[in-house]
Structure 1
Amino acid sequence: MRAPQFLKFEYNDSGPKLFPTAASWSLTDGRIKYVVIMPEDEWLADDEDERMLDDRFFREHGAAPVDVFREMNEDLAEATVFSDGLDPDDELLECLCETVGQQAAFELAPMVALLHHTSFEDLADRYQDLMARETLDPTVAENAVYAQLLLAKEEGLMDPDSSG
């Protein structure tokens, strides 16, 4: 059984605009990818004292936005990919698209569209409960994708023995 695919961004909002600092997404077999994103200069505040981000870490350990976007597009092409709907993932994807001058090869939809029999509030409560039960940090994109995969398993949308 093909697993639904999920996407989550980590982000910074201390610069002139909201921008992604990391991304995590799942593959159709339930495996999870995670990548730190190197910030573009225009994403960062001009005054280094105003920056809330250790941009040196991201420059040393991050991948260029164009490379992240290319890999994400290859892995998620032609799919409807789901986000938890709690953070501005659509806005962060748009920032990445604008930066590389391309459109995503996939559609991003809120997880409630996948589990349409559940209200957003109920789904958010279940998601938060699962995060607490599994002691996952919700600010870490990889944890959020893992939690979404667990919800998909609970809903019978994945094989119980698949990765995730």
Structure 2
Amino acid sequence: MRIPQFLKFEYDDNGPQLFPTAVAWSLSDGRIKYVIIRPEDDWLAEDLDERLLDDEFFRDRGVAPVDVLREMNEDLGETTVFSDGLDPDDQLLDFLCEALGIQAGFELAPMTALLHHESFESLNDRYQDIILRETLDASVAENAVYAQLLLAREEGLTDPDSSG
């Protein structure tokens, strides 16, 4: 059984533009990858007092955006990847692609495209219930991807042994 794949960005919106700071995505076997993105200098606010990011942390632990996008393209291939639809994941992916001049090799769609028999509100309620039940911090991308995998498992779209 092919497991649906999910993606979630973390982001910063303090500066001249919204940009990704980390991303998590699931692999076809249900494992999750999480990568901190080292922001490009022109993504950051010029005034150091306006920056809420810990520049040292992102410079030490972050991966170059071009390497992140290449890895995502390798892992996600030519498939449809789903997001929870709550944050601007599509906008962040577009920003990353435009900033680097590289196209995404996959399509990003909201989870409602996968579970189209339910309304967004109903899916969101179930998703939030999973987050509460599992005591996850939904602002952490890998937790959001894990919750989406659990929702897919509840729908019978994954093997019961995958995603947890």
TM-score with structure 1 setting the length:
0.98
In the alignment, structure 1 residue 15 sits paired with structure 2 residue 24: no
Report the counterpart of residue 125 of structure 2 in structure 1: 125
CA distance in 2, matches of 1:108, 1:163: 20
Q: What secondary structure sits across from 2:52 in the alignment?
A: coil
Which blocks of at least 5 consecutive residues in structure 2 are unaligned?
A: none
Letter paired with 1:13: D
Report the counterpart of residue 36 of structure 2 in structure 1: 36
Q: What secondary structure sits across from 2:38 in the alignment?
A: coil
Asked whether the equivalents of residues 4 and 81 of structure 2 are also in contact (C-alpha less than 8 Å), the reply is: yes
Report the counterpart of residue 152 of structure 1 in structure 2: 152
Letter paired with 2:46: D
**Cα deviation code 1:39-61 (max 9, x no counterpart):** 01111000111101112110110
Report the counterpart of residue 2 of structure 1 in structure 2: 2
Q: What secondary structure sits across from 2:34 in the alignment?
A: strand
1:62, distance to aligned residue in structure 2 (A): 0.3
CA distance in 2, matches of 1:154, 1:162: 11
Report the counterpart of residue 45 of structure 2 in structure 1: 45
Report the counterpart of residue 55 of structure 1 in structure 2: 55
Report the counterpart of residue 72 of structure 1 in structure 2: 72
**Cα deviation code 1:20-75 (max 9, x no counterpart):** 00000000000000000000111100011110111211011000000000000000
In the alignment, structure 1 residue 112 sits paired with structure 2 residue 78: no
**Cα deviation code 1:123-143 (max 9, x no counterpart):** 001001110000000000000
**Cα deviation code 1:105-130 (max 9, x no counterpart):** 00000001000000000000100111
Q: What secondary structure sits across from 1:59 in the alignment?
A: helix
**Cα deviation code 1:131-156 (max 9, x no counterpart):** 00000000000000000000000000
Asked whether the equivalents of residues 146 and 163 of structure 2 are also in contact (C-alpha less than 8 Å), the reply is: no
The structure 1 segments of at least 4 consecutive aligned residues displaced by more than 6 Å after TM superposition are none
1:163, distance to aligned residue in structure 2 (A): 3.7
1:103, distance to aligned residue in structure 2 (A): 0.9
CA distance in 2, matches of 1:75, 1:27: 7
- Identity over the aligned pairs, expressed in percent? 77
